[in-house]
Amino acid sequence: MRIKTLSVALFVGLGLVACGDADAPPADAPADAPVAEEPTAAPGELHTPDWFVVDHDAGTVQIDLIAGTSSANNYWNFHGLHGGAGEIVVPEGYEVSLTLINQDPNMGHSVGVGEIQSPWPNSFSQVTPLFEGAVTSNPTSMTESTLPGEQETITFVADQSGEFALICYVVGHAASGMWMPFTVSAEGEAGFRS
């Protein structure tokens, strides 16, 4: 019985050691040694994720906007966000190159810059982007928009400051929440706010 008890105790002890905190400082580190942490932005604070690149000297912004990143909202999302969550901010007067990457396994998507609406219509009879060139091809079509596995790049100059939206114009998508705030900043701010 004693051997069985010692075996169980040894097994449990080794299990606890193996499941220890991988982020804890080494045992020989001073007690006040900092633990390495990933840099994160506070909610509402602008930051530049790897899919957002701004070059202030050239006056350009490059954005890789991923549709259908996750199954959230039936894959009808940008970077997993929907219903007005998140915000992309670009400086006024900058040239924006936005690549829509469709990772949705089933559905075509589009993107364009337009006015924020409430409520969103189920369908758009006419799509007129706020900035020349700021909409993907065939934006209202389920079969001719940017299809699963495809990508399309649009380029435009954000020449008017204000609060707008990146909108998927495919029938029913914006009304179901596939849009994200898009702000053109007169103060030159740039980045993503979650």
Is residue 137 situated within a structural domain?
yes
Is residue 3 situated within a structural domain?
no
For 18, phi then psi, to 5°, come to: -65, -30
C-alpha to C-alpha distance for 60 and 23, rounded to whole angstroms: 38
- Tell me what percent of the residues of the chain surpass a pLDDT of 70: 78
Mean pLDDT estimate for the chain:
86
Domain that holds residue 82: 46-193
Q: What is the pLDDT of residues 120-163, one digit of tens each?
A: 999 999 999 999 999 999 999 999 999 999 999 999 999 999 99
Is residue 31 situated within a structural domain?
no
For 12, phi then psi, to 5°, come to: -65, -45
> CATH number, domain at 149?
2.60.40.420
State how many domains the chain has.
Answer: 1
Give the closest residue to 180 by CA, choosing from 101, 94, 78, 107: 78
Return the structure tokens found at 1: 């019985």
Find all residues with CB under 8 Å of 55, minimum gap 6, and list them.
61
> For strand 162-167 and strand 191-193, is the pairing parallel, antiparallel, or unpaired?
unpaired
| DSSP SS3 for 167 | strand
- As a whole number, mean pLDDT of residues 32-54 equals 70
**Confidence class for position 44, pLDDT limits 50, 70, 90:** confident
Is residue 29 situated within a structural domain?
no
**Confidence class for position 80, pLDDT limits 50, 70, 90:** very high
Identify the pLDDT of residue 22: 42
- Residue ranges of alpha helices (H) inside the chain are 2-18
Identify the pLDDT of residue 16: 40
> For strand 60-67 and strand 95-102, is the pairing parallel, antiparallel, or unpaired?
parallel
Is residue 161 situated within a structural domain?
yes
DSSP category for residue 65: E
Is residue 22 situated within a structural domain?
no
For 74, phi then psi, to 5°, come to: 60, 35
Identify the pLDDT of residue 42: 62
Is residue 35 situated within a structural domain?
no
Angle at 87 between CA 65 and CA 141, to 5 degrees: 45
Find all residues with CB under 8 Å of 115, minimum gap 6, and list them.
130, 164, 165
